[in-house]
Amino acid sequence: MTNKLTLFVLAASLVFGACKSNTERGNSPGERPSVIKMEEAKGQPEEAEITAAPHVPAPIGNRGPKKLIVKLLTTEIEGEIADGKKYTFWTFNDIVPGSFIRVREGDEVEVRLKNDASSVLPHNIDLHAVNGPGGGAEATSAVPGKEETFTFKAMNPGLYVYHCAAPPVPMHIGNGMYGLILVEPAGGLKPVDREYYIMQGDFYTKTSAIKEGLLEFDNDKAVAENPDYVLFNGKKGSMLGTGMIEAKVGETVRLFVGNGGPNLTSSFHVIGEIFDNVYLEGGSSVTHNVQTTMIPAGGSAIVEFTVDVPGEYVLVDHSLSRAFNKGAIGKLKVIGEKNPKIFKKGGF
């Protein structure tokens, strides 16, 4: 009798679970994905597609759970923080932010973190998508030249920050060691026309005492939380000019927005657009008709909106001195037919 009852409950929850995941995103708040948790990742491990900002890998679609391998290389490199200004960045895969990782809930993910042999310091990775000690940081602590590996099961759908957690953490993050990992719910996010990856970070600089013409991390400014730069995608102007992201009138745009910090909270806003949907803090709760959404340091948001009128739409941290003076500004260029019913210059 008990067995039959258990079976019935299990079957019912399976059906319910399946319906839900096709209609809604993930589980209701507070509910653990117990059915999904038991789903076995099948097949041979495959290397996950990863991308540099502003691009994201292909959606997971309707596939089942897989075994995925994610390869990341930690490096310490000179790069441009603004035109003509060189800075010593610490990175995942030589880019700031680090590669975008996209998996499905139920996937088993093997993270191979190699610290480049030319690094001075040890590095590691803490993925906020992980249920386990340190998000993998301890398991992946790699001295220069070494590769360390850990494996986790992606259980909670959402958009998560990953970052280096080697001490001193504010310096590792302040130098650019962060990125995003998206855990899509079973069945995938609803398809949209355009998806982009944007990550904000605050940078604290001083002139290097050792190398001429090079900027480096300033600890005093970091402790005072007084950055010289607040940037989208690791460089001043990275999303302006030829770096603008694009869409066509009538298309729906989804932005995966993260905030690496290390210190500032972002008031993310797109001038001239209203977010139709915001996945609050990158989780499962969706709210509508939002002008500006808060993105905590070490947090994220997914925003979606349909573009109706052509033009250049400015992305900012609406703590506006950061946008006007410190670089937290980017653009979305929308091309297509004008629609005077929605917007026109002049009166009736």
Interface residues with other proteins (CB under 8 A)? 76, 88, 117-122, 124, 126, 133-134, 137-138, 140-146, 165-169, 171, 208-211, 216-217, 219, 223
Q: How far apart are CA 220 and CA 339, in angstroms?
A: 51
Q: Which is nearer to other proteins, 196 or 203 (CB)?
A: 203
Query: Rounded to the nearest whole angstrom, what is the least distance from the CB of residue 237 to other proteins in the complex?
Result: 24
Query: Rounded to the nearest whole angstrom, what is the least distance from the CB of residue 214 to other proteins in the complex?
Result: 8
Query: Rounded to the nearest whole angstrom, what is the least distance from the CB of residue 55 to other proteins in the complex?
Result: 30
Q: Which is nearer to other proteins, 81 or 182 (CB)?
A: 81
Q: How far apart are CA 222 and CA 224, in angstroms?
A: 5
Q: Which is nearer to other proteins, 64 or 134 (CB)?
A: 134
Centre a 10 Å sphere on the Cβ of residue 185 and count the other Cβ atoms it contains: 23
Q: Which is nearer to other proteins, 134 or 243 (CB)?
A: 134
The DSSP string of 275-321 is: EEEEEGGGSS-EEEEESEEEE-TTEEEEEEEE--S-EEEEEEESSHH
Q: Which is nearer to other proteins, 224 or 335 (CB)?
A: 224
Taking a C-beta distance cutoff of 8 angstroms, is the pair 115, 146 a contact? Answer: yes
Q: Which is nearer to other proteins, 134 or 310 (CB)?
A: 134
CA quadruple 122, 260, 299, 97: dihedral sign:
negative
Give the angle 12-18-23 at the CA atoms, nearest 5°.
125
Query: Rounded to the nearest whole angstrom, what is the least distance from the CB of residue 298 to other proteins in the complex?
Result: 12
Query: Rounded to the nearest whole angstrom, what is the least distance from the CB of residue 146 to other proteins in the complex?
Result: 7
DSSP bridge pairs for 286: 279
Centre a 10 Å sphere on the Cβ of residue 153 and count the other Cβ atoms it contains: 17
Query: Rounded to the nearest whole angstrom, what is the least distance from the CB of residue 155 to other proteins in the complex?
Result: 20
Q: Which is nearer to other proteins, 121 or 314 (CB)?
A: 121
Taking a C-beta distance cutoff of 8 angstroms, is the pair 236, 82 a contact? Answer: yes
Query: Rounded to the nearest whole angstrom, what is the least distance from the CB of residue 338 to other proteins in the complex?
Result: 51
Residue 140, C-beta contacts closer than 8 angstroms, at least 6 positions apart: 111, 113, 124, 125, 148, 149, 150
Query: Which SS3 state, helix, strand or coil, does residue 100 take?
Result: strand
